[in-house]
Amino acid sequence: MSVYDPHRWTSHLFDIQGSLVREILGRVSLCVLWSVAITALHEYWPSLSQIVEIPETAHSLVGAALALLLVFRTNASYDRFWEGRKLWGGIVNETRNLVRQTSVLCAADPGLVRQFILWTAAFPYSCMLRLRGQKGLGALHHELDPVVATRVAAADHVPLATARQLTQLLMQAREQNLIGEYQQMQIDQNIQLLVDYIGACERIHSTPMPYAYAVHLRRAIIIYCFTLPLALLPKFGWNTVLATLCITYILFGIEEIGVEIEDPFGEDENDLPLEKICANIEQNLRAVLEATQRE
């Protein structure tokens, strides 16, 4: 995720990384070259160019409809981005709550507490990798029981297998009479919420924008941008090229922003900083582990 200072306007005029300029450069350039060709035709063969000119009013009406489609597209994508961030905020909170309770209630068995903390810290890493089409427990794999960790990492759904391991540890604490039945049920609610959060993230990840909407919007943008010079020629002349550059950059950029943030769990510049979130969770939980070892 790109980190920036929202108060620095000057630097944003020249930033390339994270601004999606590279992604839309080809489309914008093609439209600009087309506008150069159309403008040259208008300037040197005016009688021929009049055949392909279109009314400015008709083109403006299409632009208004296109603007509404783009607004809906970006709003829907941002809703998905923000929901993903809230879900990961829930994962942060529930891992803290889970460790907070188990580290105190199971303090009589330091080894069990350590397993609780390490497996809880491994859960976010397994979620991140799952959402990126990978498997594993992150860097914590080597600190866990090698047999169990290998089995969990090889599971079809690693986050679920990790949550199951946490439930088994919880059952072990119950069998050792470290916690009561009611406490077991309460702590299990935290584990259940972790599973709910990864399920909601998978829903966002596996459900793209409706195909018909994406296709129709892109067709509308292409038609609008490639007919734009035909509507601007009579009044703009060679300035049509500059106007086409500005307008197509804005339209293609807005659409590409929607594409970039609709699935916020990847590794693009504008996706959520999942590595940082997982590292922060691990750091917080290790601090609890160190505190329990000192007590």
The DSSP code sequence of 23-45 is HHHHHHHHHHHHHHHHHHHHHH-
The pLDDT score that the predictor gives to residue 11 is 64
Nearest to 285 by CA among 103, 87, 148: 103
The pLDDT score that the predictor gives to residue 64 is 87
The amino acid that residue 170 corresponds to is: L
The pLDDT score that the predictor gives to residue 278 is 95
Two structure tokens written together for 129:
């990798």
The pLDDT score that the predictor gives to residue 48 is 59
| For residue 51, pLDDT beyond 90 | no
Cα(247)–Cα(254) distance, integer angstroms = 11
Average pLDDT of the segment spanning 218-230: 91
Chain segment 154-194, per-residue pLDDT in tens: 999 999 999 999 999 999 999 999 988 899 999 999 999 99
Place of tokens 């990961």: 88
| For residue 114, pLDDT beyond 90 | yes
* Residue 242 banded pLDDT, cuts 50, 70, 90: very high
Cα–Cα distance list, 211 to 51, 147, 156 (Å): 35, 44, 28
- Enclosing H/E stretch for 278: helix 274-294
Q: Is 21 within 8 Å of 256 (Cβ atoms)?
A: no
| For residue 6, pLDDT beyond 90 | no
The pLDDT score that the predictor gives to residue 139 is 85
What predicted TM-score, i.e. pTM, was given to this entire model?
A: 0.87
Q: Is 178 within 8 Å of 101 (Cβ atoms)?
A: no
Nearest to 288 by CA among 110, 143, 50, 23: 110
Percent of the chain as helix, strand, coil, to the nearest 5: 80, 0, 20
The pLDDT score that the predictor gives to residue 49 is 56
| For residue 16, pLDDT beyond 80 | no
When mean pLDDT is compared over 13-17, 18-22, 55-59, 260-264, the highest value belongs to 260-264
| For residue 46, pLDDT beyond 60 | yes
| Arithmetic mean of pLDDT over the chain | 88
Chain segment 209-221, per-residue pLDDT in tens: 888 888 999 999 9
Which of the 8 DSSP states describes residue 139?
Answer: G
Cα(180)–Cα(174) distance, integer angstroms = 6
Nearest to 70 by CA among 224, 232, 242: 224
The amino acid that residue 47 corresponds to is: S
| For residue 199, pLDDT beyond 90 | yes
The pLDDT score that the predictor gives to residue 233 is 82
48: left (phi over 0), alpha (psi -120 to 50) or beta: alpha
The pLDDT score that the predictor gives to residue 21 is 79
Cα(129)–Cα(266) distance, integer angstroms = 10
| For residue 12, pLDDT beyond 80 | no
* Residue 195 banded pLDDT, cuts 50, 70, 90: very high
Chain segment 54-80, per-residue pLDDT in tens: 777 777 888 888 999 999 999 999 999
The pLDDT score that the predictor gives to residue 158 is 95
Average pLDDT of the segment spanning 221-249: 89
